[in-house]
Every structure is written in structure tokens, then in C-alpha cells.
């Protein structure tokens, strides 16, 4: 990325963002501190400060440490002020720059000063804040909420499976893997204990499940009663489970409903985006993968596929120190959300013959399953980069062409 031209700015404003208030430090090009105060997270206050500073000193570069979430308002206000440009200082870079300054205190004022001083002296450390596409901004909010719902769903499901394992291991082995089916959850809500299920009888349980999952009803209900017949003792704590199981089953049902609602909105936004057909033309790339790529990749500038792979955390890290440490190691950093998405997409593409062939090749080289999937994800990323760069649909490997030294589609 091209560094900011320092000559263009008379003032460098570092903003350490917060929920209720930010801390702003403004430095002139010579390093003089002309402003250093807490600032309410309020549009009128932000706009007034920027107007005041630019009127007194000239064009300003506002740098934040978080351009999204709690930093979204100051970024939006700064964009609306003609004499202000916006950039952000990545968190890892911020921490490294803090180590170069005297003292170990962690205060908003110190952080704001470090941001401003870095902007004034090291423009190459800054990143541009691209003007957010409205669709991408909405996708980012929805995708973040979907991540939260997924976490809650996983926690509730694990809690329910743990409780079922405690009171009836055989029943848990039967229905634990099927808790994503509404019919199973509905049956647990109605009959939360082994005794309640036995008392209800096969026909009632089967009919209850069939309301939501007709094809699943008979085999699951038969398996349930086979498991119930195998355990005759009542485990301590079963009475309390009668209270907790319906609550957890109801939570899971509600969470699934909420995720369906969010997914429907995500699908609508993804389908309306110009790059939708380009991205989904690649095997293993669905709606959620497309949404994550749009929110995490589009608008950022990567010179090569290698830069994008490093950003995603799927490029190996080279370590060399004398003769004792030499080699490439798994990257523990990168954008974890994007890394997870690319990994899952590569796994989903194994039914695609070229992807499967490459995976099998890596396995034959004695790579573990995870290593082979990451290698496949890295290879697919080269193709994905070219597709985004040129705005072209996926082509089979033998037909793919293109150089790599270009900016991604925006």
C-alpha cells in the first residue's frame, strides 16, 4: 500500500476510541501537541473539534485504532469534514510502537499520543480506511451477530449434551448428534427425562418428532426407546434435569430461528452484491463464505496472493536464526475469522475432483488432515485472488491464467 504523503497534512490526530468517550491527541508536523483531551462519543462534539483544529492549523489526518464497531462514528464524522482524511493503525502495530516509547503505563492519553506520533513519523505503518460499501457494512454487522449466535448455539448444545450424558448416556448417544433437528428438540421440551419419554410411548414420541422431521421420526424414535430399554436405573440429578432440559431445548430452538432470520438477510445482501456470482462460482464457496470474504477482504489492498495468505494466517511462517532454527512453521496469527472461513471452504470443496486430488497428494506426502486442508486452502486462495482481481468466474486449474500484481476488486 502507498504510504500517506505527510506534506499534505499540517496536523496529525490520534484517537484512542472508547464506548462512551474517546481520547484525542493532536500533533503538528513539527511534533507540537496542540490538543490532548477526552472527547465524548458524540457527533456534534467530534465535528466541532475537527472543524476547530482544521480551521486553526490546516488539513488533518485522523488515525484511529479501531475503524469499525466503537470507532465507526468518528470515522464517519471525519469523512464528512472536507479537510480531514482518515487512516487506522492496526492493533499489533500499535502494541509494537508502544514498546518503542518510554514507560509501561496503559492509558488512553498515552495510546492516543502514540497513534498520533506514529502517524506523524511513520506513515507506512498506517492503513487506509476504505469508504465502506453499504452492503458490506451491513454484512459485517450481520456476520458478527451470526458469529455470536453460533457461539451461543454451540454452548447451549454442549450443555444439553453434557446433561443428557449425566442422566442417561445411551440416550445422549442416540439424540445428541441430532439436536439440530427441531423435532428432537420439541420432543425433549415435552418429555425432558427418560421416564417421561417412556411414559409417553413410542407412538406419541414418533408423532411429535414427525411434526417437524417426518422422515427422521421413525428411526429416531425407535433408537430412543432402544436406548431407554438398556438403562433401568435412575441417576441422581434426573429430577433437576426435568427443569433444565426444556429450557436448553427451547434456547436452541430460538437460536436456530434467529440464525435462520440472519442468514436470510445475509443471503439477500450477498446476492445483491456485484461479486456474488464471481465468488460463488468457486467450488466450496457458499453464502456464508462469500459474506466473510466480502467483509474481510474487499476494500483492502494486497499486492500478491502471498500478502493475502499472510493476512489470513494460512501462509507458513519462516524462522531462521543461525544454524539452530531453520524451517517453516504454522502461522498462529492472521485474521482468524477469515482463516476459519477459508479452511471450512477448502474442506467443503473436497467433493470437487481437482481439490480432492490436491488434498490426496498432500496426504501422500505424509501431511496430517489439517495440514493438507490448509495447503489446499492456500492453493485455492491463489485462484480466489485472481478471480477478485479480474472479476472473472472460476475456471478449472488447467485453464486458469493471470498475473498477481494488482489490487483486488472493490
Q: Which of 133 and 56 is assigned the larger pLDDT?
A: 56
Are 58 and 11 a contacting pair, CB within 8 Å?
A: yes
Within 10 angstroms of residue 328's Cβ, the number of other Cβ atoms is 11
- The residue ranking higher by pLDDT, 209 or 295, is 209
Instruction: Measure the CA–CA gap between 306 and 308, rounded to whole angstroms.
Output: 5
Per-residue pLDDT at 406: 38
Task: Count the residues in the chain.
Answer: 410
pLDDT of residue 299: 73
d(CA 64, CA 68): 10
The cell for 201 is 410411548
Residues 282 and 353 in one domain: yes
Q: How far apart are CA 381 and CA 311, in angstroms?
A: 12
Do residue 71 and residue 162 come from a single domain? no
User: Does residue 100 sit in the same domain as residue 181?
Assistant: no
The predicted model gives 30-40 an average pLDDT of: 92
Residue 146 inside a domain? The answer is yes
Any domain includes 87? yes
Looking at 128, 153, 168, the residue that finishes a domain is 128
The reply to whether 249 and 296 lie within a common domain is no
CATH number of the domain encompassing residue 26: 3.30.420.10
Q: Could you tell me what percent of the chain has a pLDDT over 70? A: 90
Instruction: For residue 118, give the nearest of 137, 99, 136, 145 by alpha carbon.
Output: 99
Contact 161, 172 (CB under 8 A): yes
Distances (CA, A) of 79 to 46, 212, 358: 11, 50, 46
> Structure pTM?
0.71
Q: How confident is the model at residue 188 (pLDDT cuts 50, 70, 90)?
A: very high
All 3 cell numbers of residue 202? 413410542
Q: Are residues 216 and 324 located together in one domain of the fold?
A: no
In a domain, 408, yes or no: no
pLDDT at position 185 over 50: yes
Is residue 89 pLDDT above 80, yes or no? yes
Residue 185: which of 145, 230, 153 has the closest Cα? 153
Q: Is 62 left (phi over 0), alpha (psi -120 to 50) or beta?
A: beta
How far apart, in whole angstroms, are the C-alpha atoms of residue 252 and residue 157?
Answer: 7
Report pLDDT for 93: 77
Of 80, 101, 128, which marks where a domain is finished?
128
Instruction: Write out the three cell numbers for 374.
Output: 490448509
pLDDT interval class at 400 (50, 70, 90): very low
The answer to whether residues 325 and 232 belong to one domain is: no
Same structural domain, 31 and 109: yes
* Residue 188 resides in a domain: yes
In a domain, 175, yes or no: yes
Dist CA 16 CA 79 (whole Å): 17
**Concatenated DSSP letters for 286-316?**
-HHHHHHHHHHTTT---SSHHHHHHHHT-SP
Is 315 in the same domain as 298?
yes
Higher pLDDT, 186 or 336: 186
Banded model confidence at residue 319, pLDDT cuts 50, 70, 90? low
Q: Give a yes or no: residue 291 inside a domain.
A: yes
Contact present, 218 and 206 (Cβ < 8 Å): yes
pLDDT score for 323: 55
Residue 391 neighbours by CB under 8 Å, 6+ apart: 275, 278, 409
How far apart CA 78 and CA 88 sit, in angstroms, is 12
Per-residue confidence (pLDDT) for residue 410, from 0 to 100:
39
Q: How far apart are the C-alpha atoms of 161 and 180, rounded to whole Å?
A: 12
Assign 3-class secondary structure to 338-396. HHHHHHHHHHHHHHCHHHHHHHHHHHHCCCCHHHHHHHHHHHHHHHHHHHHHHCCCCCC
pLDDT digit string, tens, across residues 235-271:
999 999 999 999 999 999 999 999 999 999 999 999 9
Residues 338 and 280 reside in one and the same domain: yes
For the cut 80, the answer to whether the pLDDT of residue 120 exceeds it is: yes
Residue 193 within any structural domain of the chain: yes
The predicted-structure confidence for 217-237, as pLDDT tens digits, reads as follows 999 999 999 999 999 999 999
Tell whether 244 is covered by a domain.
yes
Same domain, 21 and 60: yes
Asked if residue 344 and residue 320 are part of one domain, the reply reads yes
Q: How many domains are contained in the chain?
A: 3
CA-based torsion, 163, 167, 172, 173: positive or negative = positive
Domain span holding position 28: 6-128
Instruction: Give the end of a domain, one of 94, 128, 162.
Output: 128
pLDDT-derived band at 405 (thresholds 50, 70, 90) equals very low
- Same domain assignment for residues 91 and 168: no
How far is residue 231's CA from residue 245's CA, in Å, rounded to a whole number?
19
Amino acid at each position: 500500500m502507498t504510504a500517506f504523503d505527510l506534506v499534505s497534512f499540517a496536523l496529525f490526530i490520534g484517537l484512542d476510541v472508547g464506548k462512551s468517550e474517546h481520547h484525542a491527541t493532536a500533533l503538528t508536523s513539527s511534533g507540537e501537541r496542540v490538543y490532548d483531551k477526552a472527547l465524548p462519543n458524540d457527533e456534534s462534539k467530534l465535528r466541532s473539534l475537527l472543524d476547530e483544529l482544521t480551521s486553526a492549523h490546516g488539513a488533518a489526518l485522523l488515525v484511529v485504532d479501531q475503524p469499525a464497531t466503537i470507532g465507526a462514528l468518528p470515522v464517519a464524522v471525519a469523512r464528512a469534514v472536507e479537510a480531514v482524511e482518515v487512516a487506522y493503525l492496526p492493533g499489533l502495530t500499535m502494541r509494537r510502537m508502544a514498546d518503542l516509547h518510554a514507560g509501561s503505563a496503559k492509558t488512553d492519553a498515552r495510546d492516543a499520543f502514540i497513534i498520533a506520533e506514529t502517524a506523524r513519523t511513520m506513515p507506512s505503518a498506517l492503513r487506509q480506511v476504505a469508504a465502506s460499501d453499504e452492503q458490506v457494512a451491513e454484512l459485517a454487522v450481520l456476520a458478527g451477530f451470526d458469529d455470536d449466535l453460533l457461539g451461543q448455539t454451540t454452548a447451549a448444545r454442549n450443555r444439553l449434551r453434557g446433561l443428557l450424558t449425566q442422566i442417561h448416556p445411551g440416550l445422549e448417544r442416540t439424540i445428541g448428534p441430532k439436536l439440530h433437528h427441531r423435532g428432537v428438540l420439541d420432543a425433549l421440551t415435552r418429555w425432558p427425562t427418560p421416564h417421561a419419554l417412556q411414559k409417553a410411548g413410542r407412538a406419541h414420541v414418533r408423532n411429535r418428532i414427525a411434526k417437524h422431521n417426518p422422515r427422521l421420526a421413525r428411526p429416531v424414535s425407535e433408537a430412543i426407546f432402544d436406548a431407554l430399554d438398556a438403562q433401568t436405573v435412575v441417576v441422581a440429578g434426573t429430577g433437576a434435569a426435568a427443569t433444565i432440559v426444556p429450557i436448553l431445548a427451547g434456547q436452541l430452538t430460538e437460536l436456530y430461528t434467529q440464525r435462520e432470520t440472519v442468514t436470510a438477510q445475509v443471503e439477500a445482501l450477498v446476492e445483491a452484491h456485484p461479486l456474488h456470482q464471481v465468488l460463488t462460482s468457486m467450488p466450496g464457496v457458499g453464502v456464508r463464505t462469500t459474506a466473510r470474504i466480502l467483509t474481510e477482504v474487499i476494500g483492502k489492498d494486497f499486492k500478491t496472493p502471498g500478502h493475502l495468505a499472510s493476512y489470513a494466517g494460512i501462509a507458513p511462517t519462516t524462522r531462521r536464526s543461525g544454524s539452530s532454527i531453520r524451517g517453516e512453521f504454522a502461522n498462529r496469527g492472521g485474521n482468524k475469522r477469515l482463516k476459519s472461513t477459508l479452511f471450512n471452504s477448502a474442506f467443503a470443496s473436497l467433493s470437487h475432483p481437482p481439490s480432492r486430488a490436491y488434498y490426496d497428494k498432500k496426504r501422500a506426502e505424509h501431511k496430517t488432515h489439517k495440514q493438507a486442508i490448509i495447503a489446499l486452502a492456500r492453493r485455492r486462495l491463489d485462484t480466489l485472488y485472481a478471480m477478485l482481481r479480474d472479476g472473472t468466474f472460476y475456471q478449472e486449474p488447467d485453464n486458469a491464467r493471470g498475473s498477481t500484481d494488482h489490487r483486488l476488486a472493490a
